[in-house]
Structures are given as structure tokens and as C-alpha cells.
Amino acid sequence: MLQSVRESLKGSVVSGVIILFFVLPMVIAGVGSSWLGSVAGTDAAKVDGRTISKSELNMAIRNYKDQRISQGVDPSDVSLSDENLVKPVLEQLTNKEALLAAFERGGMGVSDAAVNSFIVTLPAFQVDGKFDAQTFRNLLARRGMNPSIFRADVAENLMMNQVNAGLGLSSFVTEDEKSALIGIIHEKRSFYTVDIPGDLVKDKVAISDEELDSYYTTNQSEFEVPEKVTLSYIELSVDDLAKLEDVSEDDIRAQYDSEVAAFDATPETKIAHILVKQNKDAPGKISEIQQKLADGEDFTELAKTYSEDAGSKSLGGELGVMLPGVYPEAFEKAVASLEEGQVSAPVETDSGVHFIKIVSKSVTQPPSFEERQAAIASDLSRARAEEKYLANLELLEELTFDAPDLSGAAAELGLEVQVSDELSRDGARSGIGAFSAVRSAAFGPDVLSEGHNSRVVEIAPDRTVVFRLAELKPAHITPFDEVKEDITSAVRSEKEEALFNDLANGFIEQVKAGAAAEAAAETLGYSVSRYDGVKRSDPIADPLTLNMVFQTPVADATAFDTAMQADGSYRIIGVVSKQPGTIEDVEAQQLAGLVSQLSRENGRFEGGAFQQEIVSKADIELN
């Protein structure tokens, strides 16, 4: 379970920032608005008394955008506009809150140890394969998060996955379901193929000029060429500006010294604990543990025996690496006062009474200047480029507004006027025409009709263009002479297929009248191949033929289908019979795999229904 979540996070670092938008595996239909209330103020929604703030909604929208852009989606794509994302993202957040509230009411939770174990294995927080507390804090700070918030998010999502995994494991497969699945997957069909040689019709096809003209006139839409434009443009980007920045070694050294001065050398501490929850038996239990520790008994074994933390008990109390800011103050103070191997006196928190052991401590050293030099140079170049980009962006807008061309702005900003590939309203093979925002502006009246420069168009968060029309090619119909060869080929194919159909129908009529397939085929000069008891996975016929065989509806009589072949012949398929698969057709290992797969599918379906039921009963108020 943890591995599936971990894998979903591995590719979630965009420009060094962690994306914390978990797409929940929910099968929840659109929720109607008739039962939804409304809330006021800065809240986006309330779910069973739990508040979703507008800032949380905005962060979720931003995270989703970052995730989609990292997957190659055009940043200017209309699907990523706030207007289009607010409703689905808010619905996902409210669904999640409804589920979490229900799970917590049911006493579900995730142990601190599970959360810690998950976090320390995330590659985003590792340096040289090990968890690095400084990297952890830095990445969260860039995202405007603190460790407590991040840890709570991880706990919630681990709990969601834990529930989904539990539903999947609790799902079962009935004998009827198993039989039905095996019946389909291991179904056997008996059929024959009859191939009509292409030479039987090719010499019989004659094509007149009138037929070609008629095809051209009737199918004008096939020969339409859309309106296309070529653009002159200038591009301003942070990447290009960064390449021009010259960063001195003194600047790099100064930044490195600053990093070292700010480096947090707090030891990386691995901890374990024994938790005793407060109740009438707690004092006696605490005294007993104290005495056994004083007698030198093994902490790990005592934790397995006495600890009431279900998540860490079986691990000998181990909580993993101590994460800053996520434990109660009294707990963290006790950890700070201990050396490696020491065990604390009883420490009281809201969770109960803890005995804390320092399993190990290691001090993280800052990287050397040589290790950081290239990265600092790149960071400084980019930081300076970003400042220039913002300043030049305003200037670009001023210089191109109402200008008769782009040359003046290009000269002022040190840019080059470039020429785009051809683009239509539907797209372009490459270049700036691949961005929907560019196409929208290029075919707008200002650029296309009036001949003005475009507005400044952002095609990525740090990349903008301004363009004007360089060349217009109006929409037109391709002249007949240019497509005559294609038309001839299309007409020939149509006429050949019609002749093939006549021949195939003649054969089929003979078989339906009682003739044996082999005898009828031999008389007509066709070749026959017969296959008995063939399964979908059998390699004895080509994949296209097998696909047709198993898609053809079969009743009492032979069922027929036909298709052109790549070699120019025409194939008739006659499906004679079908036989459902049986459990005897399946090896034990394969059967176990099929049952497991069906169980997972049932689990997903049942999980979706379970979650939908919870959401439908939740008290959800939208602003």
C-alpha cells in the first residue's frame, strides 16, 4: 500500500517544489447541488463541520496545474484555467473531507511510525540516498508549508489508501463470477477462413473520368485545406536570459558562505518509544516499565510487550527519524536532552506517557563548495534572469503595443525576430503554434484581420511571445490534378471491394444452401483454412482474424464476417461454434491470478460505492 503512494510522489517535484495533490481513487458520480448548503466568509466549503478554506482550494488548484504541466500539458490550455478547475477540485476536496470525517468517526488512523517511515523514504527529501532534514525543511518552506501540515496531509492520504486497500482485501469472488470470467477468457471457437485472391477482381475494375469527377465533387470535404498562417514573433524567456548571465566565482563563494551560515546542523535523530495511555492501570504499568528499564531489560522487547502504540509496538517502538516540529513540545524537549542510547524518564503528552529512547544520532555536514558550485551558479543566473524577465516583460508590452512591426522591440531588448512554422486553428507540427493561446490570438481579429501585433501571450510560467501575421494562406479546396492519383486509388478500392462483396455473398449463399465450405471454395478457386477449438490467445491465426472471430455474434448457424487483407485478397470468416471456457482449462497459478484480478476489480467497485454512500450522507456546504 505504501509503495503505491510512494510511487505516485516520485515524479512530483516540479522546479524543486513538492506537489501535494493526491488524486483519490474514488468512483464518485457528479454530486448534485440540491442538497448542498452555503457558507460565507473566507471558507470555500464546510463538510460535516470541517472547514475547507479558500486558500486550501487555491493551493489545490495550483498543485493540480503544476502536476498537469509537469506531464506535458500546455500551461495556456483552457482546461487549466481557474474557472474550469474550481468546481472539480472543490468537489474532490469535499469528497475527501467527507471520507476522512467518516473514517475518523470510525476510529481509523495511521501511526506516527507509519507516517515517519513513509516520509523518510521519499526521494525528494533524500541526499545521497538518505533522508536529509535540511532538504525536507527547505522544500516545504518553498511550498509555504510546515512539517506539521505536511505530516498531517501524508497521514490523511495514507489512511485513504489504507481504507482502499482494506476494501480490496475484503472483497471476494463468487463461484458464478469466477465461472463467468473463465467462460469468457478461455472461450473456444471453431471457424474457417476463405481467402478470395485479389487477382480475381483487379483486372475487372475500370474507372472513367466521370467517376473521378463525381468522387471529387461529392467528397469535397476530404480535399479541404484549412486556413493557415505564418507568424513573425519575438520570444522572451527566463532560460534565454539566464544563458546571458555571467556569475563570478566571488558571487558563488558569497552565496555558498551564506548557505553554510544558515545550514541547520541539527543531528538526525532516530527514536523509539513505549507509550502508556492514561487510565486507572497506567501508574502501575509505568512503574513496572521503569523498574525493568532500571534492571537493564531490553527496550525493544519491553516496547513489544507494553507499548500501546499499535503502529510501532511490533517494531520495538521504533518511530524512525525524528522530524522537526511534528511532536508535542514536551516530547521534543526530552529528545533534545538525551544522548544516543539513553532512555528518558516518563514524558507526559496528550497521547499518554512515553519512555523515549535515542536509537542513533548523526550530524549532517554541509556540502563542500565544489559540490555546490555548479548548482549555485545556475541558481544565481536564474534568479537574476527572473528579475530581468519581469522588467523586460513590462517593456515588451510597451514597445509592441501599437508598433508597426516587431523590429524596434527586438532591437531594444536584444531579441531576434523569428518566423514560425505554418499553423492552423487546430494546431501546428512544432513551435509556438502548438500552444492553444497562440493559436487563439493568431486567428483573432486583431492579428488576422487588422494586422496588429498580438498582446503579450504567456506560453509557460517563464516564457512569453508577441507576434504578428507574416503570411496568410486562405482555406481552399485542393485542385483536382493534385489529388487525382489519390482519388483514383479510392475509387478503385471501392469498386474492388464491391466486387469482392459480390463474390463473398455468392460463396456464403452456397454454404447456407447446404454446400460444404471446402467444396464450394474449391469450385470457385478460393483457399480454405479450418481451425477447431481456438482460444483468444492462441497464435495459430493472425491477430486481426482472431479479433473478428471473437467479435462475431454466434447463434445456431454459422456466422459470417468479411474483411480486406493487407495483401489485396479478401477474407471470409465463418464462425461455426463456440464453447465457454471451464475451470479445467485453467492452470492453478493462472486461476489464482484471475481470481486476484477480479477481486481487485470488485474491491474498486465496492470501494467506489462505499465512498459514494458516505459522501451522499455528508453535510456539505459550499460558498
Chain segment 270-309, per-residue pLDDT in tens: 899 999 998 888 999 999 999 999 999 999 999 999 999 8
Q: How far apart are the first and last CA of the chain?
A: 35
Average pLDDT over residues 536-558: 88
Whether 411 shows a pLDDT value over 70: the answer reads yes
Looking at residue 144, its pLDDT comes to 64
Please give the residue that has the higher pLDDT: either 2 or 136: 136
Whether 521 shows a pLDDT value over 90: the answer reads yes
Band of residue 582 on the pLDDT scale cut at 50, 70, 90:
confident
What are the phi and psi torsion angles at 24 (to 5°)? -75, 140
Please give the residue that has the higher pLDDT: either 29 or 420: 420
DSSP, residue by residue, 264-278? ----EEEEEEEEE--
Q: Tens digits of per-residue pLDDT, 200-220? A: 998 889 999 999 999 999 999
**What mean pLDDT, rounded, does the chain reach?**
84
Average pLDDT over residues 439-465: 93
- CB-CB contact of 449 with 433 (8 Å): no
Looking at residue 255, its pLDDT comes to 92
DSSP, residue by residue, 374-409? HHHHHHHHHHHHHHHHHHHHHHHHHHHTT-SSSHHH
Whether 4 shows a pLDDT value over 60: the answer reads no
Looking at residue 228, its pLDDT comes to 97
The radius of gyration computed from the CA coordinates of the chain, to the nearest angstrom, equals 35
User: How many CA within 13 A on the CB side of residue 252?
Assistant: 19
CA-CA-CA-CA dihedral for 532, 537, 538, 544, to nearest 10: 90
Q: How far apart are CA 75 and CA 64, in angstroms?
A: 12
Band of residue 493 on the pLDDT scale cut at 50, 70, 90:
very high
Looking at residue 32, its pLDDT comes to 30
Looking at residue 5, its pLDDT comes to 28
Average pLDDT over residues 583-597: 77
Band of residue 168 on the pLDDT scale cut at 50, 70, 90:
low
Q: Tens digits of per-residue pLDDT, 386-397? A: 999 999 999 999
DSSP bridge pairs for 225: 476
% of the chain residues with pLDDT over 70: 90
- CB-CB contact of 100 with 611 (8 Å): no
What are the phi and psi torsion angles at 513 (to 5°)? -80, -5
Neighbours of 563 (CB within 10 A): 14
Looking at residue 6, its pLDDT comes to 31
Band of residue 247 on the pLDDT scale cut at 50, 70, 90:
very high
Please give the residue that has the higher pLDDT: either 72 or 91: 91
Q: How far apart are CA 377 and CA 337, in angstroms?
A: 40
- CB-CB contact of 151 with 326 (8 Å): yes
Q: How far apart are CA 225 and CA 53, in angstroms?
A: 50
Band of residue 25 on the pLDDT scale cut at 50, 70, 90:
very low
Q: Tens digits of per-residue pLDDT, 337-356? A: 999 999 999 999 888 999 99
Looking at residue 169, its pLDDT comes to 64
Please give the residue that has the higher pLDDT: either 522 or 601: 522
Band of residue 335 on the pLDDT scale cut at 50, 70, 90:
very high
Alpha-helix residue ranges (DSSP H) falling in 401-560: 407-413, 436-442, 445-448, 480-512, 517-524, 543-551
Looking at residue 41, its pLDDT comes to 47
How far is C-alpha 363 from the chain's CA centre? Answer: 38
Looking at residue 477, its pLDDT comes to 97
122, amino acid identity = L
Looking at residue 13, its pLDDT comes to 32
Whether 131 shows a pLDDT value over 80: the answer reads no
CA-CA-CA-CA dihedral for 65, 70, 76, 78, to nearest 10: -50
Looking at residue 2, its pLDDT comes to 29
Band of residue 28 on the pLDDT scale cut at 50, 70, 90:
very low
- CB-CB contact of 531 with 541 (8 Å): yes
